[in-house]
Amino acid sequence: MIELETVKPFFTDKDELLDEILGRYPEYGRRSAIMPLLWEVQRAERHVSEARIEEIAEILGMHATEVKGVMSFYSTYHEQPVGEYHLQVCSTLSCSLAGADEMTDFLVEELGIVNGETDAEGRFSLQKVECLGSCGTAPVLQVNDTYFERVTRTRCVQLLQALRSGELPEPWRERGGDNVSAEKATLGGDDA
Amino acid sequence: MSDAVMGEPTPIISRKDPRYQVTMYRHVGVDGAWTLDYYSSHGGYRAAKKAIADMGVPDVIAEMKASGLRGRGGAGFPTGVKWSFMPPVDGRQRFIVCNADESEPGSFKDRYVMEDDPHQLIEGMLIAGYAIQASIGFIYIRGEYHLAYERLLQAIREAREAGYLGSNLFDTDFSFDLVVHRGAGAYICGEETALMNSLEGLRGNPRLKPPFPAQAGVYGLPTTINNVTSFASAVHIIDKGAAWFSAMGTEDSKGTKLYQISGPVARPGVYELPMGTTFRELIFDWGGGPSMEIKAFIPGGTSTPMLPFSDEYLDTPMDYGSLAKLGTMLGTGGVILIPKEKCMVDAMYNIVRFYAHESCGKCTPCREGVSTWLPKMYQKLLAGLGEPGDLELMEEMVTNMRGTAFCPLADACAMPVQASFKHFRPEYEYLVEHGEPMYPKRSWWQE
């Protein structure tokens, strides 16, 4: 308990945010706020610590164990802090067919960490994840919240260089398929 | 054309048909299409106004039923019929929920719609909310879709300011507002009862059905859940009429649908095509053809059993009935091409590993079969340690997983494994016999 008291509660001076989140759900559905509250903490602190779990439980009138039980079900909440740049390589079929396994090997080599690890400086974490819904623009590498699509070896090298100099580049947003604007002109339609 | 001769217009089953119009996906990829300014200058909220101000609730549901739209999330249940399952209005809160937890490998249509055309989803939910008389809608979006989440929040703010969300919409008694709820990396939450648990702040385990969501849904209250593109379809059905929609497609599959193609193909991506379009048209005419030799294709997301890449199967119309006849499914319409040089056992291990990772562990066939023994068997084979009897054991395991689990996840894993045995058993046998795959490991990464 002594340790917990020394940590300043996360939501102390965030009344507005807290009200907004709790206000999304009906009174009888207060518990629904668990996931958004966990997201807020993780976004700011790159993980959700025991102290924050206790705090969220208190806000929602639940036991910490219950919050932890929910949190542990989902794969994108972290109990340990991830690095400043959390590299998530989609390794499911379409990405694998576009070189995701080789990209993972490359990153392991470059960063000196394996799947699930964070480097000693806390800069990079590497994680193989399952389908990110970017199969048409594979392989995809998610850095924190941002998707980088069609990551060729050249692009991967460039991206890593940028991140190492402390810069998160503009995302490569690829489309393909019907997204190609030039083709839109030929689609017809009367909605103008 | 033949219309005059036949008297009855022929259905549109190809995008090459000059009568075909792209609707749902028309604005995706256009810069700024996500703003209300853009959306309203392209006919935005016209359909919602028509439904809410000019049509009675039974008329909206009748129109949806007449359109023949079937749920675009994969199961293909008729949307209008689903809406009609809601109990009579009795004063209890009712909910409309959008399943935007798109996670079936090979599927990526919903992400683009939400990123680039979020108002279309809002408008579809307004129409559905009105039809089932719900005043609150939830959009359950997977946590990884961050840009889509931001764009949706922005679009909801704009819609509120413009009076498309809130009280007394279009000068009627109808009020409606939306809440966006982010998932956190769990495929199983795309199963509607697991989604509801997750939305309620519980672990995402599936619930027993019945009761169905219309009877006891979110917080035990009447709820209807649809996929992103089912809502998007509703906008155009109301706008252009059920007859326009049902003039496209085949007997059991009407309208237009977002198909996706990925794997080694010249132009991978999302294509909006009339239902009943053939795989050949998608792969060759729109996808630009394979970029390497192909041996198999997955018709609609990894849970749908694969088919050999041959003339016999390529001319199959992409509709519910035609695929069911071949022992597979339309699923999400996410086609994946599997190149000849990819070891089929390795490709299947990739798929099995996905379902193993996503199993919630609630029931035995899935926890022990999908999540534990099946991936172990694949690891054994791929390590070159396969023994006589292993393949028979694997086949027996997947047979025992079929239809015995609490939710469809175990079937989603077992069915594609069975298909790979059916069509590519020689590759398994080669691996067991030689201790190495018929097609050795190579790099797939482009420079």
* Tens-place pLDDT, residues B168-224: 999 999 999 999 999 999 999 999 999 999 999 999 999 999 999 999 999 999 999
Residues A35-91 have pLDDT tens digits of 999 999 999 999 999 999 999 999 999 999 999 999 999 999 999 999 999 999 999
Whole-angstrom distance, CA of residue B442 vs CA of residue B434: 18
- CB contacts, 8 Å: B195 with chain A: none
Residue at which a domain ends, from B322, B339, B356: B339
Is residue B9, in this structure, part of any structural domain at all? Answer: no
Is the same domain home to B284 and B163? Answer: no
What does the longest C-alpha to C-alpha distance in chain A come to?
Answer: 68
**B110, pLDDT greater than 90:** yes
Q: Could you tell me the pLDDT band of residue B5, with boundaries at 50, 70 and 90? A: low
- Distances from the Cα of B379 to the Cαs of A54, A150, B151, B268, in angstroms? 40, 28, 41, 30
Residue B382 forms part of a structural domain: yes
Residues B103 and B222 in one domain: yes
Nearest CA in chain A to B282: A177
Question: What are the structure tokens assigned to B195, written together?
Answer: 């989604």
Is residue B335 domain-shared with residue B356, that is, in the same domain? no
Asked if B332 and B413 sit in the same domain, the reply is no
Per the prediction, chain B carries an average pLDDT of 96
Q: Are residues B120 and B72 in the same domain?
A: yes
Residues B35 and B157 in one domain: yes
Boundary (domain end) residue, out of B289, B317, B339: B339
3-state secondary structure (DSSP) of residue B16 = coil
* B79 falls within a domain: yes
pLDDT the model gives residue B75: 87
On whether residue B445 sits in a domain, the answer given is no
Residue A176 has pLDDT above 80, yes or no: no
Structure confidence at residue A186 as a pLDDT band (50, 70, 90)? very low
Q: Which domain holds residue B361?
A: 344-434
- pLDDT for res B205: 95
Split into its structural domains, chain B has a count of 3
* CA separation, residue B258 to residues B112, B199, B219, B338 (Å): 11, 27, 32, 21
Kindly state whether residues B152 and B242 are assigned to the same domain. yes
| C-alpha separations of B296 from A26, A61, B176, B310, B429 in Å | 49, 53, 46, 8, 18
Do residue B360 and residue B396 come from a single domain?
yes
Residue among A38, A91, A181 minimizing CB distance to B29:
A181
Give a yes or no: residue B4 inside a domain: no
Higher-confidence residue: A176 or B13? B13
- ipTM of predicted assembly, 2 dp: 0.95
Q: Are residues B196 and B280 in the same domain?
A: no
3-class DSSP assignment, residue B334: strand
Dist CA B34 CA B118 (whole Å): 6
Amino acid at the residue A86: H
> What is the predicted pLDDT for the residue at A181?
43
pLDDT tens digits for range A155-169: 999 999 999 999 999
B79 and B119 part of one domain: yes
Structure confidence by residue, pLDDT tens digits, A127-148: 999 999 999 999 999 999 999 9
Are B187 and B276 within one domain?
no
Contact A73 B339 (CB under 8 A): no
Nearest residue on chain B to A104, alpha-carbon basis? B445
Residue at a domain's end among B282, B313, B339: B339
- All residues of chain B having their beta carbon less than 8 Å from the beta carbon of residue A65 are none
Mean pLDDT of B26-34: 92
Please state, for a pLDDT cut of 70, what percent of chain A lies above it. 90
Structure tokens belonging to residue A109:
């080599």
| B12 domain residue, yes or no | no
Task: Say which of A154, A176, A187 has its CB closest to residue B22.
Answer: A187
Domains and CATH numbers, chain A: 2-71 (1.10.10.1590), 85-171 (3.40.30.10)
Residue B1 domain-assigned (yes or no): no
Question: Which CATH number characterizes residue B92's domain?
Answer: 3.40.50.11540
8 Å CB contact of A99 and B357: no
B52 and B91 share a domain? yes
CATH number of the domain encompassing residue B378: 1.20.1440.230
Tell me whether residue B441 is in a domain. Answer: no
